Chains A and B, each alone.
Chain A
Amino acid sequence: MEILNNILIYFVIVPVLTLGGLALCNNKGMNAIRAVAATGATVLVALALWLVCIFLQARGAGDTSEMILLSKVSWYAPLNIELALGVDGVSVVMILLSAFIVFAGVFASWKMNPLPKQFFLWFFLLSTGVFGFFISIDLFTMFMFYEVALIPMYLLIGVWGSGNKNYSAMKLTLMLMGGSAFLMLALIGIYMHSAPQGQPLTMNILQIAQNNAVPHDWQMYLFPMAFVGFGVLGAMFPFHTWSPDGHASAPTAVSMLHAGVLMKLGGYGCFRIAIYLMPFAANELGWIFLTLTGISIIYGAFSACVQTDLKYINAYSSVSHCGMVLFAILMFNQTAMTGAVLQMLSHGLMTALFFALIGMIYGRTHTRDIREMGGMMHIMPYLGVGYVIAGLASLGLPGLSGFAAEMTIFMGSFQHPDMFHRVFTIVGASSIVVTAVYILRVVGKLLFGEVQNEHHRELTDASWDERFSTAVLIVCVAIIGCFPNFFINIISDSFLPVVKALGNVVGM
């Protein structure tokens, strides 16, 4: 088949093969399970790096087409459903991010217990969905992979979670499913208007955008549905409440994957489907969502200030940081949107790092309440230093990823000529102070000071797999922070079509 010549399809094939390999493993054969999972994850990282090379080569050779590596296979002709693949700069970096998080996630769950085989099966099924979502450019296929990524979450939290896990798993799944319901309606609506009267309908995003045939009054209904549908996953206020409970109950690797990658599907979808396909409504209704995301940023940050559970702190921090992603996307200019993708990368890696470290600390102390902990820096210096680095990345220290992302967002947003947008930029920017407050608060209580619980003195520092998993993430965070221009060059031009489409609308 011709499509097998396209590297993109292997991002789905490799996880599926890994699934097969895991299925063949013995339930108790921990080493075999680890070997298969680690191999699968390593191959994915290698593929992702190769994809970046291919992409850079294509761009370097003067290929300025919107998407590269296009190929498609008809799947169900009566509804024009295709397996259509293609990537632009944004998808490339998102795939890279996902590959690294999956890789780190495998090592963070190295000692998974109980049912390691089943855990990794669901884990890789989830990855399949994530990668599939980023490589496809067909509405139906995207939606399908989206659902594939969501459902395993229920079992991963429900079975391997902690605390009030049944409630959390149910809440998370129901809220995200509610979002998908809106989303499905929106997708069907877009499909019904995907071509001018008399021409064949299509599910292909590029084709729809080119046709630009969705009537304006329909856009006004469909845009909010699509945006809210993806916004739920992007933890947009007031649809974020699944996030604190879900993260708190999820096992380490699942939290990592969820905050690190899954929440990015939301931001990616908002941009790729909601705004790109319906620029008119985006321009008309953008201010409503801008207000909501502006609230998210501040609200999440202030809420994080009073939490006492480590995971809740990071869940609210995610609300704030992911709010910034949607906020920047809604600024409709190239710089801010590029910043949004940088922020997705940055937040993905740094939150994964946070959750990995929290999982490791929790695995030792069996509590996540910062009031019961203290002086961890004396006991587990490696994890302590890792936590400080993650914290500094989160509060935007130059040289780590958060700074480059946030600055690109703020600088881009401020270029917006409208006063309303500028005021919100200033409001959003003020979150950097609040972020410093809650990060330093938790660092001070958790790591510094006197040891609160004498039993904690006997705890050990990180083992090799934990060190490896966190070191990978720390290095990634530092690379983005030190060489942001490398990523900006990949990402930036991908936004030209959207910005142009939006510009046309404003011009009318």
Chain B
Amino acid sequence: MPLSLTIAVVAIPLFMFFFLGLAGVKMGRKLTGVLGVLGMLVTTVLAYGVALTYFFGDGPQVVDGVRKAVIVFNPDWLSFTDTLVARMGIALDPIAAMMLVVITTISMMVHLYSLGYMSDHHGHPEKGFQRFYADLALFTFSMLGLVVATNLFQIFIFFEMVGVSSYLLIGFYYHSPAAIHASKKAFIVTRLADLFFLLGIMILSFYTGTFDFFNQNGMVGMTDSMEAAQTAITSAGGATFMGCSVMAWALTFIFIGGAGKSAMYPLHIWLPDAMEGPTPVSALIHAATMVVAGVFLVARLFPLYVIEQGAMEVICVVGAFTAFYAAAIACVQSDIKRALAFSTISQIAFMMTSLAVSASQEGLIEIHHGYGLGYMASMFHLFTHAMFKALLFLCAGAIIHAVHSNENDDMHGLHKYMPITSIAFLIGCLAIAGIPPFAGFWSKDEILVACYEKGLGWGIWMSMVAGLTAFYMFRIYYLIFFWKEHKVHTEHRPADQVWTMTVPLIILGAISCVAGFVPMHDLVTWDGAALHTQLNWTVAGTSVAIACVGIALATVMYYKENALPAKMKNAFSGLWNAAYHRFYMDELYQFITHKVIFKAVCVPIAWFDRKFIDGFMNLLADATNQAAYGIRRLQSGSIQGYVYLYIMGALLIAVVSMVCVLI
């Protein structure tokens, strides 16, 4: 299959967006849904074809056994100056090809799943079903455009596009105040991050004179892709700002842009709220694809980060902290979607940390075993995580659809009513906990190895978080499917959902079982060459043991109803409360935005404008008016007055002129 078909992969969702958005209302719900799914199916088939051709075909992309980037097309879009041009192109390289597979797979599953999930809302036909499919297509288009971008500016453009699609989909239930609030929050927080991204782009493009990732000679390898930029960085090394080189600032700013989308602490606050959107959307956007855009961005600029250690240290610390922070919160949440959202944050932090430790070895541009491993592990985890986290979310959707609640108090004991969902969820839990042979084991193990290579401390920290992951996932699992018999269920009898919702669970469950065996270290490496790794048995053994401890602990505490969790909650009530309230980060933001920015900046400025500036203009007008009234009295209309003034004036002039003459 020719690689130029990537254009169709990107174009079909865009077409579907316009088609379903404009004609959907006329077409009716069924037809819209089916067309949406079919369109996505074609896109998926094409994307698989392109990716397989890229990885396994022996086209022009393979040179001496190394996979190079292929630029399919790259027209100018916006010429800032003669040399600084933003282009809109399509480039394929290992990570782009991998992302095509991830995005289209998950999007396909979500399209299919939504046929069932979105057909009714608490028993009523869902309003805006057509709009939902149009927005899904828009999101898919934006995300695909992001990963095939040929330059930094294009990534920025599609960052904004995915942000808006996410806004539209989070706010899908636009009659609900919570959804409106959540969509607004998500957009504004990521916009703030994008501002930093923009600043980073401005600095970087100013010093390097280009946005492009790849040379314009058509095909170039990843290693020399940014040679020009690297040279520029080295030459701009003299330019510093507040003690750090401008490049470190630029790359840190760009990371902040990515951190906004990828929900790194402290910009993570929008993601849990984003769960107000329909669950399929959470699975697609807020678990599998959009939230990894930040990781993708850092991976894309990896050759730059490698030579700018300062920025990498920042990422490393932020990533490691976020992984723990989010995992700790996930342990106490009662809303299953929110718990899963914090789990997502934690897992993305794993990917970020992995990227960061990967670049932190000594020695600059030379290819080094250590570089490749963390990068590869991060991308590998991105791949597997997308599959099993989407699976978990879709299971959660099926459960929520069955019991009409997000709270695990309303669930309990669902195993016997929804066996397929239960097994699929269990597979997802095993995968995320890192139990062999499920997908997560393979990728997480590589990440831990990379962390141990950076330093023992980093490795231990991340292993601990991995243990925590196993604990909170099984806590959720038991609380949903076991714990106790819920009386309500005997009346309502929740059950596995319609086939459109069950089939995606089965497919994703199957993928989660086998995804770990994809030979990722041969396919997705930062320099395109195969990486020779082998399982590190020490690390693997330890991490599995830790995961098992986590699972065992969860089993003791949550498998059957008992008093232990309540006791623990009381014993550590301070800690429990803080974690339950997400360590009060939302309250802090609330304070800053409402009390400081709104009350202390916006309101005074508006007051100043009306009272002071406008008041000054009104004062001028009033003063003119008053002066006019004053002068008007002189025009009294009485002849005596005029004669009097005339004589006085004449006398005055006479006296003055006489005085002048005399002097």
Interchain CB contact (< 8 A) of A241 among B174, B198, B609: B609
Known A-B contacts A335-B80, A436-B187, A488-B78; the reply to A175 vs B161 at CB < 8 A is: no
- Write the nearest CB–CB distance from B596 to chain A, whole angstroms: 12
Known A-B contacts A397-B160, A411-B80; the reply to A440 vs B188 at CB < 8 A is: yes
Interface size class of A (residues with CB under 8 A): 35 or more
Contact with B along A451-489 (1 / 0, CB 8 A): 000000000000000000000000000000000110011
**In the complex, which residues of chain B have a beta carbon less than 8 angstroms from the beta carbon of A425?**
202
Bound CA–CA A377/B168 (angstroms): 13
Residue of B nearest to A397 (CB): B164
Bound CA–CA A307/B174 (angstroms): 22
6 A/B residue pairs, CB under 8 Å, sorted by A:
A305-B606, A403-B157, A404-B78, A408-B78, A440-B167, A484-B78
Contact B206 A415 (CB under 8 A): yes
**In the complex, which residues of chain A have a beta carbon less than 8 angstroms from the beta carbon of B160?**
396-398, 403
The answer to whether the Cβ of A306 comes within 8 Å of any Cβ in the partner chain is yes
Interchain CB contact (< 8 A) of B184 among A241, A415, A441: A441
Bound CA–CA A404/B153 (angstroms): 11
The answer to whether the Cβ of B556 comes within 8 Å of any Cβ in the partner chain is no
Contact B79 A171 (CB under 8 A): no
Contact B602 A305 (CB under 8 A): yes
**In the complex, which residues of chain A have a beta carbon less than 8 angstroms from the beta carbon of B192?**
433
Known A-B contacts A437-B188, A444-B180; the reply to A432 vs B195 at CB < 8 A is: yes
Bound CA–CA A175/B624 (angstroms): 13
Contact A171 B621 (CB under 8 A): yes
Contact B198 A410 (CB under 8 A): yes
**In the complex, which residues of chain A have a beta carbon less than 8 angstroms from the beta carbon of B164?**
392, 397
The answer to whether the Cβ of A448 comes within 8 Å of any Cβ in the partner chain is yes
Contact A399 B161 (CB under 8 A): yes
Residue of B nearest to A425 (CB): B202
For the complex with contacts A436-B191, A484-B77, 4 further pairs of A-B residues with Cβ separation under 8 Å are: A306-B606, A377-B174, A441-B184, A444-B181
**In the complex, which residues of chain A have a beta carbon less than 8 angstroms from the beta carbon of B598?**
305-306
Bound CA–CA A392/B77 (angstroms): 20
Contact A440 B184 (CB under 8 A): yes
The answer to whether the Cβ of B550 comes within 8 Å of any Cβ in the partner chain is no
Bound CA–CA A407/B80 (angstroms): 9
Contact A408 B606 (CB under 8 A): no
Known A-B contacts A306-B606, A404-B78, A415-B206; the reply to A397 vs B191 at CB < 8 A is: no
Contact B175 A171 (CB under 8 A): no
- Write the nearest CB–CB distance from A407 to chain B, whole angstroms: 7
Bound CA–CA A238/B205 (angstroms): 34
Contact B79 A485 (CB under 8 A): yes
**In the complex, which residues of chain A have a beta carbon less than 8 angstroms from the beta carbon of B184?**
440-441, 444
The answer to whether the Cβ of B419 comes within 8 Å of any Cβ in the partner chain is no
Residue of A nearest to B171 (CB): A448
Contact A302 B605 (CB under 8 A): yes
Contact B78 A378 (CB under 8 A): no
Contact with B along A154-166 (1 / 0, CB 8 A): 0000000000000
**In the complex, which residues of chain B have a beta carbon less than 8 angstroms from the beta carbon of A299?**
605, 609
The answer to whether the Cβ of B534 comes within 8 Å of any Cβ in the partner chain is no
**In the complex, which residues of chain B have a beta carbon less than 8 angstroms from the beta carbon of A305?**
598, 602, 606
Query: Chain A residues in contact with chain B, CB under 8 A?
Result: 171, 174-175, 238, 240-242, 299, 302-303, 305-307, 334-335, 375, 377-378, 392, 395-399, 403-404, 407-408, 410-412, 414-415, 425-426, 429-430, 432-433, 436-437, 440-441, 444, 447-450, 484-485, 488-489, 492
Residue of A nearest to B142 (CB): A398
- Write the nearest CB–CB distance from A467 to chain B, whole angstroms: 13
Number of A-B contacts (CB under 8 A): 115
Q: Enumerate B144-176 residues with CB–CB distance to A below 8 Å.
A: 153, 157-158, 160-161, 164, 167, 171, 174-175
**In the complex, which residues of chain A have a beta carbon less than 8 angstroms from the beta carbon of B195?**
429-430, 432-433
- Write the nearest CB–CB distance from A306 to chain B, whole angstroms: 5
Q: Enumerate B282-327 residues with CB–CB distance to A below 8 Å.
A: none
**In the complex, which residues of chain B have a beta carbon less than 8 angstroms from the beta carbon of A307?**
606
Bound CA–CA A128/B191 (angstroms): 42
The answer to whether the Cβ of B362 comes within 8 Å of any Cβ in the partner chain is no
The answer to whether the Cβ of B76 comes within 8 Å of any Cβ in the partner chain is yes
Bound CA–CA A399/B81 (angstroms): 20
Interchain CB contact (< 8 A) of A450 among B158, B175, B183, B621: B175
Interchain CB contact (< 8 A) of A433 among B153, B174, B191: B191
Contact B79 A488 (CB under 8 A): yes
- Write the nearest CB–CB distance from B212 to chain A, whole angstroms: 15
Bound CA–CA A404/B79 (angstroms): 10
Residue of A nearest to B190 (CB): A436
**In the complex, which residues of chain B have a beta carbon less than 8 angstroms from the beta carbon of A412?**
80
Residue of B nearest to A388 (CB): B168
**In the complex, which residues of chain A have a beta carbon less than 8 angstroms from the beta carbon of B84?**
411
Bound CA–CA A238/B617 (angstroms): 10
Bound CA–CA A397/B28 (angstroms): 29
Contact B206 A175 (CB under 8 A): no
Known A-B contacts A241-B613, A414-B206; the reply to A375 vs B175 at CB < 8 A is: yes
Bound CA–CA A396/B160 (angstroms): 9
**In the complex, which residues of chain A have a beta carbon less than 8 angstroms from the beta carbon of B86?**
407
Bound CA–CA A51/B206 (angstroms): 36
Bound CA–CA A485/B601 (angstroms): 38
Bound CA–CA A299/B601 (angstroms): 10
- Write the nearest CB–CB distance from B356 to chain A, whole angstroms: 26
Q: Enumerate B584-622 residues with CB–CB distance to A below 8 Å.
A: 598, 601-603, 605-606, 609, 613-614, 616-617, 621
Known A-B contacts A410-B202, A415-B81; the reply to A174 vs B605 at CB < 8 A is: no
Bound CA–CA A440/B158 (angstroms): 20
**In the complex, which residues of chain B have a beta carbon less than 8 angstroms from the beta carbon of A449?**
174-175, 177, 180
Bound CA–CA A306/B610 (angstroms): 12
**In the complex, which residues of chain A have a beta carbon less than 8 angstroms from the beta carbon of B187?**
436, 440
The answer to whether the Cβ of B199 comes within 8 Å of any Cβ in the partner chain is yes
**In the complex, which residues of chain A have a beta carbon less than 8 angstroms from the beta carbon of B158?**
398
Bound CA–CA A408/B78 (angstroms): 8
Bound CA–CA A408/B164 (angstroms): 21
Contact A485 B602 (CB under 8 A): no
**In the complex, which residues of chain B have a beta carbon less than 8 angstroms from the beta carbon of A392?**
164
Known A-B contacts A414-B206, A436-B191; the reply to A485 vs B603 at CB < 8 A is: no
- Write the nearest CB–CB distance from A487 to chain B, whole angstroms: 10
